[in-house]
Amino acid sequence: MSNHQCNEHCNHGSDLQKDPEIQKELEVAKSKLVGSLDATSIEKKAVHAHFSHVNKIKTSPTSAHHFVPATKETILWGYFSQVAPSTVKVNSGDFVTIETLTHHANDDEERMILGDLNAQAVFHWDAKSKGIDRRGVGEMSAPNGAGGGLGVHLCTGPVEIIGAMPGDVLEVKIIDVAPRPCANEIYSGKTFGSNAAANWGFHYGDTLTEPKQREVITIYEIDASAENTWARAVYNYRWTPQTDPYGVVHSTIDYPGVRVDHSTITKNTDILKNVRIPVRPHFGTIGVAPKEVEIASSVPPSYTGGNIDNWRIGKGATIYYPVAVPGAKFFVGDPHASQGDSEICGTAIECSLTGTFQFILHKKESITNPSLVDLNYPLLETPHEWLVHGFSYANYLAELGPQAQTEIFGKSSLDLAMRDAYHKMRHFLMTAKNLNEDEAISLMSVAVDFGITQVVDGNWGIHASVKKNIFL
C-alpha cells in the first residue's frame, strides 16, 4: 500500500526500500514468480494483480519465489500443526507469496466471498458437507460443529523450511502486504472487511445500553487500488441466531464460518459518519508450529508466535521465531486491514490479504547475534523499533499441561503478561545491547514503551518497544 498516513510507529515504509539492490532485483523476482507458478489462470490473474502493487522485492540469483494460493487444500481452519503436510518446501533465502482469507468473510458473503472461487470452496457448507470440516482443535463431535471452534482463523500453510531444526531461529521478512480485491463485480475495485464486537471481547456485558450481551458486526470498505489509506464504515447489524446448514442454531458467534442470513438482520447505515480509519494491513496470526501438541489452537499466542495480534506486524517488519519442530512449519492467517492496541471488542477489521515473505534460516551452531542465541520468544523488528511480546504465559502449552488449550481462557492476566514483557525486554537489552541488569532496568523505565497488544486471545499480550535510534 502506498502513501500511508500512519503515525510515527508506522512500519510500512520499509527500510528495505532504501536498498538500491532491491529495486534492481525486482524484475528478476517478478519473472521468477510468474515462471514458477503452478496455478490456475484465475490464481495467476490474482497474483499478477497482487504484483502490480509490489515495487520492491529483494531476491538473489539463487533464491526462488513460490506462490501458495488460499484453497481448501492449503488452509487449516483454526490451528497450527507440526504434522500437517507442507504446502511448499523452501530453502533459506526464498520468497513465498501467500494468500490469506479472513474467517469473518461470511459476515457479508456478497462482499467478501461471492465470485471468489477459492473462497467459495473454503466456505462451502451445505446439508451434506463442508469445504473444510474441522474448525478448531476441539472434539469432532462438538455440539456447535467439528473442532468446536476452539481455534478460528484460516491459517494458510505450512511452509516448510528445508533444513530447519529445533534450536534454530527462523527470520521472516514481510516484504509486501496487499488487500484481496472483492471478486463480486457489483463491488469491483473495492475490498471489504468485518469487525465483530463479539462475546469474547473485553467490553462484553459491560455496556451502557441494553441488551448488555449483544454482538454487533460492522462492515468496512477499503479501497483495493492500494491508493486509499483509509477505511470507512459501510453499515452495522446486531447478530441474530443463525442456523447453519446442519441445523445447529448459533445464538452467539460460537463457530467460525457460519453464514449470516441477511434476511434475519437489520442494517444500520447511519454509522461512524465523518470518521475514517487509517489502514495498516498486517497479519494477526503468524508463526511456526509449537512442539508441545500435534494441533495447536490458532487463538492463544505463544513462544512460537501465532495470534500475536500486533498491528505492527505488517509490511517492512521482520520477525524472528525459535524453531520448535523439524522444517519449522510456518503458517499465516487472520489478516487485518487495521487494528488498535488491545483489539478491545474481540476483532480487528478482518480483511483478506496477500503477503510476500522472505524466509532466512539461522542455524543454531552459526548464530552469532547475541539476541538470537537461545531465543525462546517471537522477536519483532520494524524499521525504527525492536519489540518483544509478553504473554500471560510465555509457553502456555508447556506451563498449563494437557488441558492448556481450554484452561488458558480462565487464566488471562495482564499482570502476568506485563511481568513476561519485562523479562523479555530485559533479556533483549542485556543480550542484543550488552547492557548490565541495572542499565537495562533504568533504560526500560525511561525509554521503553509498554503497551497492551490484545485482551481477547486467552493468553493476553503486552508488548514492549524500544527505539533503535537511542543506541548511538
State the nearest-atom distance from the C-beta of 301 to Zn ion, in Å. Answer: 12
Count of other CB atoms within 10 angstroms of residue 410 = 8
3-state secondary structure of 122: helix
Question: Closer CB to Zn ion, residue 107 or residue 334?
Answer: 334
Please state, in angstroms and rounded to a whole number, the distance separating the CA atoms of residues 318 and 172: 6
Please state, in angstroms and rounded to a whole number, the distance separating the CA atoms of residues 257 and 367: 42
**Angle, nearest 10°, between helix axes 41-51 and 20-36?**
170
Question: Closer CB to Zn ion, residue 287 or residue 383?
Answer: 287
Question: Closer CB to Zn ion, residue 16 or residue 380?
Answer: 380
Question: Closer CB to Zn ion, residue 152 or residue 233?
Answer: 152
State the nearest-atom distance from the C-beta of 334 to Zn ion, in Å. Answer: 4
Question: Closer CB to Zn ion, residue 313 or residue 323?
Answer: 313
State the nearest-atom distance from the C-beta of 336 to Zn ion, in Å. Answer: 5
Question: Closer CB to Zn ion, residue 147 or residue 284?
Answer: 284
Overall size of the chain counted in residues: 472
Query: Read out DSSP for 127-156?
Result: SS-BSS---SSS-TT-TTSTTTTSS--EEE
State the nearest-atom distance from the C-beta of 103 to Zn ion, in Å. Answer: 8
Question: Closer CB to Zn ion, residue 336 or residue 427?
Answer: 336
State the nearest-atom distance from the C-beta of 237 to Zn ion, in Å. Answer: 19
State the nearest-atom distance from the C-beta of 102 to Zn ion, in Å. Answer: 7
State the nearest-atom distance from the C-beta of 308 to Zn ion, in Å. Answer: 11
State the nearest-atom distance from the C-beta of 144 to Zn ion, in Å. Answer: 20
Cell of 382: 520494524
Question: Closer CB to Zn ion, residue 102 or residue 465?
Answer: 102
3-state secondary structure of 93: coil
- Long-range Cβ contacts of 200-209 (<8 Å, 24+ apart): 200/346, 200/456, 201/344, 201/345, 201/346, 201/347, 201/456, 202/342, 202/344, 202/345, 202/346, 202/455, 202/456, 203/344, 203/345, 204/346
3-state secondary structure of 98: strand
Query: Is residue 203 within 8 Å of 340, Cβ to Cβ?
Result: no
Strands 95-100 and 65-68 come out as parallel
Beta strands in 275-368 (DSSP E): 277-278, 282-288, 295-297, 305-306, 318-322, 330-338, 349-350, 353-362
Question: Closer CB to Zn ion, residue 345 or residue 448?
Answer: 345
Question: Closer CB to Zn ion, residue 9 or residue 104?
Answer: 104
The DSSP symbol for 342 reads B
Spatial CB neighbours of 420, under 8 Å, sequence gap ≥ 6: 390, 391, 392, 393, 394, 462
* Amino acid present at 322: P
Query: Is residue 192 within 8 Å of 372, Cβ to Cβ?
Result: no
Instruction: Kindly calculate the radius of gyration of the chain based on its CA atoms and give it in whole angstroms.
Output: 21
3-state secondary structure of 427: helix
Binding residues vs Zn ion (CB under 5 A): 284, 334, 348, 350
State the nearest-atom distance from the C-beta of 454 to Zn ion, in Å. Answer: 9
State the nearest-atom distance from the C-beta of 281 to Zn ion, in Å. Answer: 12
250, β-bridge pairs:
242
